[in-house]
């Protein structure tokens, strides 16, 4: 091997050794990276393992905290702090039939503990069934004393309503997943599930109870299929009572699909009849078309528009009347003539201003919308006396408040506010000044239609409304009887509107007069003056003293 070959061999061996060292270095670096990544995964595994171990621990207190976080809803209280809805811990008791040693013996025991229930099918047909949800402490102790391992009891958070049916349409319901599905529970679902502060309402439990009791009595007397009432502060819009019957027990958590359970105070849309005559007079005064003393002579007993007859409900109404007399005597023809003088544009604008033709942005979502069709000459005449237009009791209550409180706009509410913004006057102040004394005469004079509501000491004023219910091809003989009242008329503070759905005349009922006249028996007239006004008078006797002393 010459010198050149020796040098080549040396260089090859050198390069080979250099290449080996470089490869060895890369292996070391890769190993360190793998070790670091493994360490990270190891730490993550420890963390997740710890979570699993913690969650698997049978720690009652820990589970309850999780449960409360998931299902808690804030309380709902009335204006005086009375609880209307509350989240509490309840115990549900169930049975696993597979663990029962002697099923026949256990069935006998269950019959003694829960006599109204039959568990025969569940015992032989299911792997688990509830014996009693929200069991009382007394019954729970009796179950536990049996020492039967087949009984399984669990603690859960549940929503309870101490007053049962009393506020059902207002409070609404929640579903099995704790979501509000109607009423305030739905409208304020976010607030109730994210805040620990109670939702404070304007409602008064005592007054709500008293009004509901009188509405229940009215069903016994007049056999109406439903009813509703709203009592509202005429200046602030605070609703002290809102009732719709029939109602339902919120604690039973039943699916309510029957239309008879509609909220008649806010969702139901009705023709209310002659209560609209008040708006006709008010619009005439507001636009300076009439004054209370404006005289209408030679009023016909019947007029025809587009082939349809408009007639007086009472032939004894005189043919010459002032605007004031037309409202007191509830004249149809006179009201139509006043509407004619007001005109379509002004009357339409007026009904919008007072909220009849405007959708109310209310605290619950179950709110109906006014229905009346297209304006025209004949529509103007019929709306003037309350025919051919259907609206909600809530809108009616708002409108009566505005025309009686000095013409100030208000916003009906169920939620108590700390501060109230100054109201804006939207009507001529002369409207209330002239109208309230007329409403008082409807109650206090013999010519009026609402004498049964004349409870001494409260200066009640108001207007009756009797309307036929629309049916296919016309109108049926079924009635909606309404009385919209304000009091005291010298300084209005409250609006009370009461409606009876399809009442019937009671020929055996005895009417007792408050002015000392002999009782009257055997009424055949199915009008608001003989039904809803009577109920309103009974309500006022109960709530009048409370309102006079506490509000």
**Residue 263 is encoded by which pair of tokens?**
């909220």
Q: What is the pLDDT of residues 128-141, one digit of tens each?
A: 999 998 898 999 99
**399-407: average pLDDT:** 98
Q: How does DSSP assign 10-47, residue by residue?
A: HHHHHHHHHHHHHHHHHHHHHHHHHHHHHHHHHHHHHH
Q: What is the pLDDT of residues 35-92, one digit of tens each?
A: 666 666 666 656 555 544 444 444 444 444 444 445 789 999 999 999 999 999 889 9
Q: What is the pLDDT of residues 417-431, one digit of tens each?
A: 988 888 999 999 999
Output the pLDDT for position 306: 84
Output the pLDDT for position 452: 95
Contacts of 37 (CB under 8 A, 6+ apart): none
Question: What predicted TM-score, i.e. pTM, was given to this entire model?
Answer: 0.83
Is residue 520 within 8 Å of residue 188, measured between CB atoms?
A: no
For 424-457, letters b (16+ CB in 10 Å) and e give eeebbeebbebbbebbbbbbbeeebbbbbbbbee
Mark out the alpha helices in 146-289 (DSSP H runs): 168-171, 183-187, 189-194, 205-222, 277-286
- For residue 159, pLDDT over 80 is answered with yes
- For residue 254, pLDDT over 90 is answered with no
Q: What is the pLDDT of residues 343-364, one digit of tens each?
A: 999 999 999 999 999 999 999 9
Collapse the DSSP code of 531 into the 3-class scheme (helix H, G, I; strand E, B; otherwise coil) and give the result.
Answer: coil
Least confident of 44-58, 64-78, 272-286, 299-313: 44-58
**370-380: average pLDDT:** 94
Beta bridge partners of 463: 484
Output the pLDDT for position 41: 61
Q: What is the mean pLDDT of the chain?
A: 88
Question: The tokens 């069903």 sit on which residue?
Answer: 219
Output the pLDDT for position 330: 94
DSSP letter at 163? T
- For residue 20, pLDDT over 50 is answered with no
Q: Quick one: which H or E segment has residue 535?
A: helix 532-550
Give the rounded distance of the alpha carbon of 500 from its chain centre: 18
Output the pLDDT for position 314: 80
Contacts of 403 (CB under 8 A, 6+ apart): 278, 279, 282, 354, 427, 431, 432, 435
- List C-alpha distances in Å: 85 to 70, 77, 158, 185, 239: 18, 7, 10, 9, 18
- List C-alpha distances in Å: 77 to 80, 184, 247, 535: 8, 12, 19, 28
**481-488: average pLDDT:** 98
Output the pLDDT for position 49: 53
**Residue 354 is encoded by which pair of tokens?**
């007072």
- For residue 158, pLDDT over 90 is answered with no
- List C-alpha distances in Å: 362 to 41, 129, 200, 237, 395: 55, 42, 16, 11, 10
Output the pLDDT for position 156: 85
Band (pLDDT 50/70/90 cuts) for residue 316 is confident
Q: List, in order of start, the domains of the chain with CATH numbers.
A: 66-200 (3.90.1310.10), 207-550 (3.40.710.10)
User: 290: exposed, middle or buried (C-beta count within 10 Å: 0-12, 13-18, 19+)?
Assistant: buried
Higher pLDDT, 498 or 63: 498
With a pLDDT cut of 90, the percent of the chain lying above it is 69
Q: Give the separation between CA 382 and CA 378, rounded to whole angstroms.
A: 6
Give the rounded distance of the alpha carbon of 175 from its chain centre: 17
Do you find a cis peptide bond into 488, omega within 30 degrees of 0? yes
Output the pLDDT for position 39: 62
Is residue 393 within 8 Å of residue 265, measured between CB atoms?
A: yes
**255-284: average pLDDT:** 94
Output the pLDDT for position 5: 55
């Amino acid at each position: 091997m010459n010198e050149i070959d020796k040098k080549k061999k040396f260089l090859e061996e050198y390069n080979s050794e250099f290449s080996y060292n470089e490869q060895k270095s890369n292996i070391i670096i890769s190993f360190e990276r793998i070790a670091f990544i493994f360490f990270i995964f190891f730490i993550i595994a420890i963390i997740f393992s710890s979570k699993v171990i913690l969650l698997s621990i049978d720690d009652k207190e820990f589970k309850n905290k999780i449960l409360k976080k998931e299902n808690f809803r804030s309380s709902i209280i009335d204006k005086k702090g009375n609880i209307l809805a509350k989240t509490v811990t309840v115990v549900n008791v169930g049975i696993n039939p597979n663990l029962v040693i002697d099923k026949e013996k256990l069935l006998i025991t269950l019959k003694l503990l829960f006599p109204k229930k039959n568990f025969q099918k569940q015992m032989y047909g299911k792997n688990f069934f509830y014996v009693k949800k929200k069991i009382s402490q007394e019954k729970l102790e009796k179950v536990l004393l049996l020492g039967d391992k087949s009984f399984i009891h669990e603690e859960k958070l549940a929503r309870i309503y101490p007053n049962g049916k009393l506020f059902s349409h207002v409070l609404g319901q929640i579903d099995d997943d704790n979501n509000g599905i109607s009423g305030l529970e739905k409208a304020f679902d976010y607030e109730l599930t994210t805040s620990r502060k109670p939702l404070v309402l304007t409602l008064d439990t005592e007054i709500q109870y008293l009004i509901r009791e009188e509405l229940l009595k009215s069903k016994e007397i007049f056999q109406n299929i439903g009813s509703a009432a709203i009592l509202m502060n005429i200046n602030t819009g605070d609703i002290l009572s809102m009732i719709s019957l029939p109602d339902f027990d919120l604690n039973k958590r039943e699916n309510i699909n029957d239309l008879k359970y509609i909220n008649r105070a806010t969702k139901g849309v009705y023709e209310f009849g002659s209560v609209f005559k008040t708006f006709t007079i008010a619009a005439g005064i507001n636009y300076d078309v009439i004054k209370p003393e404006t005289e209408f002579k030679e009023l016909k007993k019947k007029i025809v528009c587009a082939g349809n007859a408009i007639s007086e409900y009472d032939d004894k109404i005189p043919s010459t009347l002032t605007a004031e007399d037309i409202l007191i005597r509830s004249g149809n023809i006179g009201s139509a003539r006043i509407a004619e003088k007001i005109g379509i544009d002004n009357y339409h604008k007026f009904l919008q201003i007072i909220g009849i033709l405007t959708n109310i942005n209310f605290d619950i979502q179950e709110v109906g919308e006014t229905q009346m069709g297209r304006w025209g000459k004949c529509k103007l005449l019929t709306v003037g006396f309350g025919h051919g237009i259907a609206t909600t009791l809530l809108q009616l209550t708002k409108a009566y408040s505005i025309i009686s409180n000095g013409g100030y706009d208000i916003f009906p509410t169920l939620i108590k506010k700390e501060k109230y913004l100054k109201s804006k006057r939207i009507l001529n102040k002369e409207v209330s000044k002239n109208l309230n004394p007329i409403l008082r005469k409807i109650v206090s004079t013999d010519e009026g239609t609402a004498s049964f509501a004349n409870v001494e000491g409260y200066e009640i004023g108001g207007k009756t409304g009797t309307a036929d219910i629309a049916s296919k091809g016309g109108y049926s003989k079924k009635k909606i009887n309404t009385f919209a009242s304000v009091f005291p008329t010298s300084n209005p503070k409250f609006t009370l509107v009461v409606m009876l759905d399809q009442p019937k005349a009671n020929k055996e009922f005895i009417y007792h007069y408050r002015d000392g006249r002999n009782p009257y028996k055997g009424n055949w007239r199915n009008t608001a003056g003989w039904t809803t006004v009577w109920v309103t008078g009974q309500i006022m006797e109960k709530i009048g003293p409370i309102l006079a002393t506490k509000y």
